[in-house]
Amino acid sequence: MTRPKKIPRLIPKIISGQTYLWLAMLIFGASSAVTRKLTEIGAQHFMGNRNPISLCNVLFVGNLCALILLILIYGRQWNKTTLKQLSKKDWLSLTAVAILSGAIAPGLIFQALALTGVNNIILVGRLEPPLTLVLSIWLLSERVHLWEIAGAIAAFVGVILTIILQPPQEAMMNMGGLSFGIGELLAVAGSVAVSASTIIGKKYLSQVPLGIYSIFRTALGTVIFFFIALILYGRDHFADVLSPFLWQWMFLYGGLIVVVGQSFWIKGLKTSTVSMASLIGSFSPIAGILAAYLILGEVPTLAQYIGGSLILLGISLSQLGIRRKTHSRIACAKVNSMQTQKQVETNMGFKGI
């Protein structure tokens, strides 16, 4: 009597990997709403005339939590043999990426959160994928599917409509007869910074190990952000960074958004393909808008409905293009390098750190 064939172990691993990615996507999607909620809680417990849970404190402490996690996961890659293989150009490129995506971009996005609605940040942040696509074609001569181009155009139009159709706000500026929210413009600037860092990573850092890239970017980005904030806001800006009240809430933020979210995301990426991870990550805006409604009671405006509909159409078209490439090496490859991880994360937008 022949024994029944065992089910290959690959199937449960793939299912488990997708589950981790879905959970991470939900956590990251809620990050902006959770951040805003924490600052509102801090505003009800001022210390002197300062909010102990300021956006800068959340970003700074959150980055420290992320750095600890990354060191635990990737610390072994920081050895003499690996480090000696990196050239001066690699270190310069890593520094540029750390400044752009580790300090400037999150700083701009967090400042935008103080000036406009969470839904606006989520939708305007969708400018990053089409901008990165255009720069990849222009500067890197990458070949992309026609559906991806159509999706990028639809998403870009959706972002523009989200910005220009906004109802009047206090923090607005006039440019060429049109009024733009300052928060939305800061979110645009943050997206441009992330896109620039992505292009630098694609062009110069494709061979750099993921662990060295992630730890260096987070560490240097945190230090640079700290000093930029000191210059802009003064030496008292981080006066409450060691406040017990701040840290009791940062254990929630750092533990859930940073540690659990990043752990699930990294674990899921190890057993998933680029196309699957990209598809799951594309649902991040929907999760973010739902979280803003459930956590903050933020109901989408007409401008957000119009722009968001076009952005979702763009995401769908882009995913169709990616699915058409499922038989290619790139789409079927495992997400095991810095370049492929950045390719996936471009579709997600702000991840909370």
| Percent of the chain clearing pLDDT 90 (strictly above) | 30
In a domain, 231, yes or no: yes
pLDDT band at residue 8 using 50, 70 and 90 as cut-offs: very low
- Does residue 51 or residue 352 have the better pLDDT? 51
**pLDDT of the residue at 21:** 87
Closest CA to 238 of 84, 64, 34, 23: 64
Residues 270 and 273: their CA atoms lie apart, in Å, by 8
Over residues 269-291, the pLDDT tens digits come to 777 776 777 778 888 888 999 99
In a domain, 7, yes or no: no
In a domain, 218, yes or no: yes
pLDDT above 60: residue 177: no
**H helices of the chain, where?**
10-29, 31-43, 55-74, 80-84, 88-97, 105-113, 118-124, 128-140, 146-164, 182-204, 210-233, 244-253, 261-270, 274-281, 284-296, 302-324, 329-332, 338-345
Q: 59 and 113 in contact (C-beta within 8 Å)?
A: no
Average pLDDT of the chain, as a whole number: 83
Q: What does residue 7 show for φ and ψ, rounded to 5 degrees? A: -70, 130
**pLDDT of the residue at 154:** 93
Mean pLDDT of 21-36: 90
In a domain, 8, yes or no: no
User: How many separate domains does the chain show?
Assistant: 1
In a domain, 285, yes or no: yes
Most confident of 57-71, 222-236, 286-300: 286-300
Mean pLDDT of 177-196: 85
In degrees, rounded to 5, the angle at the alpha carbon of residue 283 between the alpha carbons of residues 180 and 183 is 20
Over residues 87-100, the pLDDT tens digits come to 999 999 999 999 99
pLDDT above 60: residue 329: no
**pLDDT of the residue at 339:** 61
pLDDT above 50: residue 43: yes
pLDDT above 60: residue 62: yes
Strand partners, 173: 180
In a domain, 142, yes or no: yes
Q: What does residue 154 show for φ and ψ, rounded to 5 degrees? A: -60, -45
**pLDDT of the residue at 304:** 92
In a domain, 139, yes or no: yes
pTM: 0.83
pLDDT above 60: residue 66: yes
8-22, 71-85, 102-116: range with lowest mean pLDDT: 8-22
Residue span of the structural domain in which 216 resides? 17-345
Tell me the residue type at 282: S
Over residues 115-173, the pLDDT tens digits come to 888 999 999 988 988 898 888 888 888 888 788 889 889 999 999 999 888 777 666 66
Over residues 291-312, the pLDDT tens digits come to 999 999 999 999 999 999 999 9
pLDDT band at residue 16 using 50, 70 and 90 as cut-offs: low
Closest CA to 166 of 116, 113, 112: 116
Residues 240 and 125: their CA atoms lie apart, in Å, by 30
Over residues 244-267, the pLDDT tens digits come to 898 888 887 877 887 888 888 878
Residues 316 and 323: their CA atoms lie apart, in Å, by 10
Q: How would you classify residue 83: left for phi > 0, otherwise alpha for psi between -120 and 50, otherwise beta?
A: alpha
In a domain, 2, yes or no: no
